Amino acid sequence: MKINHIPYPKIINDSFTNKIFSHFDVLLREIKKDKFVLSVSGGADSVLLLYLFCKYFESDTKRLIIAHVNHDLRKDSRIDENFVLMLGEKLRIKTHKIKLDPNTISKDDSTESWARKHRYDFLSTIIKKTDAKWVVTGHHANDQAETILMNISDKTGLFGLGGMKEINNNIIRPLLPYTKRQLLEVVRKYSIPFLEDPTNRDNYYKRNFLRNNVITPWLERSNDLIESITATGKNFKDWQDGMLYFVNDFIKNNLIRNENNDFLIIKNSFNKVPLFARVCVLQVLTNSIGILRRPQIENIKEFLGKDVIGNMCYAINGFILLNDRSNVIIKRKKLKKLVPLELEVGCDYSFDKYVYKISKYSKNVRFSRNRDDELIDLATIKNKKLVLRYWCSGDRFKPLGMHGTQKISDYLINNKINLFKKDEQTVLTADDQIIWVCGQRIDDSVKVNNSTKNILRIRRKLKKWDENKVK
């Protein structure tokens, strides 16, 4: 369908639009003066959303921004793009667009998930670029019903059955309470232009199959189907809110953050909580509420049920779970480790989470019980290259006070260092000889004794600490 003329919005305050605008009043009460990025595809729902917002903000439409994503999945997708650009020009609203490349869809990804990810990535980019605060979409009650049925199919559990939220982080869905039929009546009544996406009839896509082959025939038998499904979703949402209230209270009272900014949950308390609630705790802490699918949930259940020390589980969003002796540790996986760093005496260095200070002294320095503050005999490393790096498999050293050498892996195990800390353990070498397992113990060969004349002091502090306070 080609549209050469874009009429200006002529929506008036009839009984139904008044109902919508009253809902906007409640939903947007605290944020009406913010900027909004409207996701406009060119379809009836998103164009109606745009026209309704133009009417609602008719005295200040400069705070509205249009964003359009051309997924390039159809030969005529450019028609949609041009139509949205025409809308923006007619309504005098700044329009941003992007064209995606379907060739970037991976084998492990579906077209729908690829499109959704890139769409929201683009919307987030426009948010930052325009200094806007909110993304607004045209999702309605039929979309909600489809989402709930899809989540049932995907076995997402309690959190999936609640469906989409009207406000979720910075995303607003102001048309969610209204059915497709109700909104189309407004579109027809005010002759709002839109384009029909032919791919909506393609049952290859799961959502389309549900819409065309399940919901549409079902609606012929039950006029209130959408209302029934969305009401059920709201009931589940109420259950979620109740569960999350107690989950968040548990987290508040039983969560610790270590020096690496990892989450630690006290196992003595955690194991007293029902299994489902423990899964909910981990979902909250890994930002995966409503995202996890049944296989992922079952993996977490298995991880929690075995209670094997040292057991690990890869959760969603780049998080790793570790069953430690006293805690369950939740850590975001590092993408890349740092390369070895060469050090010089008298300088400060930043490596991973720490700042290292290396100082030379010609007289005795008071020994410290702090394992991040060590003294070594300078003569033992004279003219040797100092390098800071992560430990490697096969590394050995002679722990202070011991007669023989020991593998660093064994040393860390014997000292009950958990797998996450082991993975981040650094060592200081002098011409490839390990002289300090950082934060643990120096090598016996560099110890200070009665014949020591010059001392090298090596200290490290977490970056968040004020280095000016180090004495």
Residue 194 has pLDDT above 90, yes or no: yes
Compute CA distances 369 → 348, 357, 440, whole Å. 22, 17, 11
> Where in 311-400 does DSSP place strands (E)?
312-314, 319-323, 327-332, 341-343, 348-351, 354-361, 373-377, 386-390, 396-397
The answer for residues whose C-beta is within 8 angstroms of residue 447's C-beta and 6 or more apart is 376, 377, 400
Residue 222 has pLDDT above 70, yes or no: yes
Report residue 466's pLDDT band, with 50, 70 and 90 as the boundaries.
very low
Residue 192 has pLDDT above 80, yes or no: yes
Cβ neighbours of 296 (radius 10 Å): 18
**Fold match, 15-138+174-221 / 241-332:** no
Q: Which two tokens stand for residue 304?
A: 């929690």
The model scores a pTM over 0.75: no
Alpha helices in 131-202 (DSSP H): 141-153, 158-161, 180-189
How far apart are the C-alpha atoms of 459 and 87, rounded to whole Å? 63
The answer for residues whose C-beta is within 8 angstroms of residue 431's C-beta and 6 or more apart is 384, 385
Beta bridge partners of 136: 38, 172
SS3 126: helix
How far apart are the C-alpha atoms of 442 and 397, rounded to whole Å? 9
Report residue 468's pLDDT band, with 50, 70 and 90 as the boundaries.
very low
The answer for residues whose C-beta is within 8 angstroms of residue 94's C-beta and 6 or more apart is 65, 66, 88, 130
Report residue 5's pLDDT band, with 50, 70 and 90 as the boundaries.
low
Residue 4 has pLDDT above 80, yes or no: no
Arithmetic mean of pLDDT, 58-66? 89
Residue predicted with more confidence, 157 or 209: 209
Question: Of 5-9, 55-59, 144-148, 188-192, where does mean pLDDT reach its minimum?
Answer: 5-9
**Domain 241-332 grouped into CATH 3.40.50:** no
Report residue 334's pLDDT band, with 50, 70 and 90 as the boundaries.
low
Pairing of strands 406-407, 426-430: unpaired
Taking phi over 0 as left and psi of -120 to 50 as alpha, with beta for the rest, 174 belongs to alpha
Report residue 65's pLDDT band, with 50, 70 and 90 as the boundaries.
very high
State residue 111's pLDDT score: 86
Residue 469 has pLDDT above 70, yes or no: no
Tens digits of residue pLDDT in 296-327: 888 888 888 888 888 888 877 778 888 988 88
Residue matched to tokens 């005795």: 364
How many helices (DSSP H) and strands (DSSP E) are in the chain? 15, 22
State residue 35's pLDDT score: 96
Compute CA distances 417 → 230, 262, 266, 280, whole Å. 49, 15, 17, 27
Report residue 288's pLDDT band, with 50, 70 and 90 as the boundaries.
confident
How many residues are there in the chain?
471
Residue 78 has pLDDT above 70, yes or no: yes
How far apart are the C-alpha atoms of 241 and 414, rounded to whole Å? 44
Report residue 206's pLDDT band, with 50, 70 and 90 as the boundaries.
confident
Structural contact between residues 146 and 154, judged by C-beta atoms closer than 8 angstroms: no
CATH number of 341-469: 3.50.40.10
Compute CA distances 411 → 395, 396, 419, 447, whole Å. 11, 9, 13, 18
State residue 335's pLDDT score: 56
State residue 80's pLDDT score: 93
Any idea what DSSP says for residue 215? I
Tens digits of residue pLDDT in 99-140: 999 888 887 778 888 888 899 999 999 999 999 999 999 999
Domain residue spans of the chain = 15-138+174-221, 241-332, 341-469
Q: Which two tokens stand for residue 119?
A: 């769409």
How far apart are the C-alpha atoms of 158 and 245, rounded to whole Å? 15
Q: Which CATH architecture group holds 15-138+174-221?
A: 3-Layer(aba) Sandwich (3.40)
Mean pLDDT of the chain: 88
Compute CA distances 161 → 110, 201, 312, whole Å. 22, 25, 28
State residue 105's pLDDT score: 87
Residue 471 has pLDDT above 50, yes or no: no
